[in-house]
Amino acid sequence: MDRTEFLAELKEKMLAEGADSLVQENLSYYDRYITEQCEGGKTEQQVLEELGSPSLIARSILEAAGYEVDGIPDRNPGEQAGWSQSEDPFRMYETGGEGGSRRTYSEQKPVGMRTAVLVLLLVLLFLILLLAGLFWLLSPILIPVLIVALIVRLLGGRRD
């Protein structure tokens, strides 16, 4: 099997399930991958052997996208039961099939959200360390001033 046959079989398996929207992106990805590996010193045959069966790869891609891989072309899984496929990373797919339906939840959080939380935590840590450092630097001055203020307050309260 060569690159052309590999990509053709991958395309055929994905189209058989009605995954037209996934075909071009994945074919481009695997074509680039094979090219990069060959440029890295491997032969095309070695790369294809490492990748394995295009049928198994197609099945993995389809299942990850919510398709029910059964040889029957599906519509977009997000449209089958009235669920809309939005850009929401927590979207839900519902696919019909024999014996009922199956729901799959995407659990990936967007990278931007993780980054924002990490940045927020780092900023909070920086502020805490900054305040602690200021207190540490000013403590030789603040502690005597506070003690004098306490003594003045105590003595001032006794005059009454």
Among 24-33, 82-91, 107-116, 151-160, the range scoring the smallest mean pLDDT is: 82-91
Q: List alpha helices for 17-110, DSSP H.
A: 20-39, 44-51, 54-64
Assess contact for 26 and 14: CB atoms under 8 A: yes
pLDDT at residue 109 tops 60:
no
Supply the pLDDT for residue 95. Answer: 45
pLDDT more than 90, % of the chain: 31
Rounded-to-integer distance, Cα 6 and Cα 1, Å: 7
Q: Report pLDDT for 88.
A: 43
Instruction: Provide the pLDDT confidence category of residue 73 given band limits of 50, 70 and 90.
Output: low
Pairing of strands 92-97, 100-105: antiparallel
